[in-house]
């Protein structure tokens, strides 16, 4: 039996009785009960009431994304129609909210994962560009921007030195900006104390190379490594520089000689044939006769040979014939 009291229009309003429910769940002028928006279902129905315009807009945005609707109407209790368009920013905001937890747990969370996750949750095919932009914004929220990361680099390396006594950090700045009161980073070098100590038990061979940092700012990472008697690689030193040039390689080798090699003789340096690196090596005493020797990496030699001469047989015979002639 239905125990809910019946509302009669013939009874004056002030003489009517209502059940013990929140007052804002009753559409009093129309004498009926109204439903509220349930975010777990994500579906709008005619006659739903909202306390504020902001709540209404939030529900419309959520419903739009879940059901991929571009244009529709929502009716308020006052019979005023609201026309809401599903904007790009709405989709991106929802994507950011949806993937934020995944990015925190997995820094390598990619665009394809964003698209698939939104598809699984809502059935909506989010465009690639919006997924990319949403993922970029979430990564900046969780991990910071490239600019903020650079600002934290000094404190980070300082903490490494504090908790790893003996770790070496060297800076070279491009200049000082009086307007901001900050230095402009040129190069930064670091070498961990355990690696410096471990080098004393390795062979007199050091390999150096550089690699690209595929980020917003196209800097390079320079690396020096050694090898012990068990053919195991020991990283010795690192540096972040703007470009692989003669000045950057010269500065890196100077720091390597000063903080890692420390006057050790008979060193063999292995590298590629980068012009700036070769020039920097020739000006350093630790890797030239009589204190040391400089050799080229055969992997780089083979790679350069194959990229220059496509047909190995004909190319080699042709080059040999030219040298004989």
Question: For residue range 120-171, what is the model confidence (pLDDT) as tens digits?
Answer: 877 778 888 888 888 888 888 888 888 888 888 889 999 999 999 999 999 9
Instruction: Say how far apart CA 223 and CA 84 lie, in whole Å.
Output: 55
Which pLDDT tens digit goes with each residue over 263-295? 889 999 999 988 899 999 998 888 888 889 999
**Residue 190, beta-bridge partner list:** 169, 238
**Residue 72, pLDDT score:** 41
Q: Are residues 108 and 25 in the same domain?
A: no
Look up the domain containing 102 and give its range: 88-143
DSSP string, 240-297: EESS--HHHHHHHHHHHIIIIITT--SEEEEE---HHHHHHHHT-GGGSTTTEEEEE-
- Count of structural domains, the chain: 3
Q: Are residues 58 and 156 in the same domain?
A: no
Q: Is residue 240 predicted with pLDDT exceeding 80?
A: yes
Q: Are residues 136 and 49 in the same domain?
A: no
Burial class (CB in 10 A: 0-12, 13-18, 19+), 227: middle
Q: Are residues 136 and 223 in the same domain?
A: no
Q: Are residues 289 and 156 in the same domain?
A: yes
Whether residue 292 is preceded by a cis peptide bond, meaning omega within 30 degrees of 0, is no
* Range in 65-79, 115-129, 169-183 with the lowest mean pLDDT: 65-79
Q: Are residues 279 and 169 in the same domain?
A: yes
Query: Tokens in use for 215?
Result: 């980020």
Annotate 181-197 with b (16+ C-beta within 10 A) or e (fewer).
Answer: eeeebbbbbbbbeebbe
Q: Are residues 120 and 232 in the same domain?
A: no
DSSP string, 120-187: HHH-----HHHHHHHHHHHHHHHH--HHHHHHHHHHHHHHHHHHSTT-EEEEEEEEEETTTTEEEEEE
Q: Are residues 241 and 288 in the same domain?
A: yes
């Amino acid at each position: 039996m239905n125990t809910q009291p019946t509302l009669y229009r013939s009874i004056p309003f002030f003489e009517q009785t209502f059940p013990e429910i929140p007052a804002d769940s009753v559409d009093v002028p129309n004498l009926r009960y109204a439903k509220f928006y349930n975010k777990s279902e994500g579906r709008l129905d005619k006659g739903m009431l909202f306390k504020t315009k902001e709540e209404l807009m939030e529900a419309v945005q959520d419903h739009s994304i879940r059901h991929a609707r571009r244009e529709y109407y929502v009716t308020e209790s006052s019979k005023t129609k609201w026309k809401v368009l599903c904007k790009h920013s709405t989709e991106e905001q929802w994507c950011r909210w949806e993937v934020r937890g995944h990015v925190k747990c997995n820094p390598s969370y990619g665009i394809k994962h964003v698209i698939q996750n939104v598809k699984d949750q809502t059935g909506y095919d989010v465009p690639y560009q919006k997924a990319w932009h949403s993922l970029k914004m979430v990564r900046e929220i969780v991990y910071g921007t490239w600019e903020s990361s650079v600002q934290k680099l000094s404190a980070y390396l300082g903490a490494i030195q504090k908790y790893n006594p003996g770790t070496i950090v060297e800076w070279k700045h491009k200049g000082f900006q009086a307007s901001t009161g900050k230095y402009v980073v040129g190069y930064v070098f670091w070498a961990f104390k355990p690696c410096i100590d471990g080098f004393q038990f390795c062979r007199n061979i050091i390999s150096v190379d550089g690699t690209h940092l595929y980020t917003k700012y196209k800097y390079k990472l320079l690396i020096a490594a050694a090898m012990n008697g068990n053919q195991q690689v020991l990283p010795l030193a690192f540096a972040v520089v703007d470009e692989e040039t003669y000045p950057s390689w010269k500065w890196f080798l100077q720091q390597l000689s000063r903080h890692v090699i420390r006057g050790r003789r008979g060193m063999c340096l292995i590298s590629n044939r980068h012009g700036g690196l070769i020039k920097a090596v020739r000006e350093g005493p630790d890797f030239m006769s009589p204190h040391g020797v400089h050799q080229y990496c055969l992997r780089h030699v083979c790679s350069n040979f194959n990229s220059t001469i496509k047909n190995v047989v004909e190319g080699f015979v042709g080059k040999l014939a030219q040298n004989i002639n």
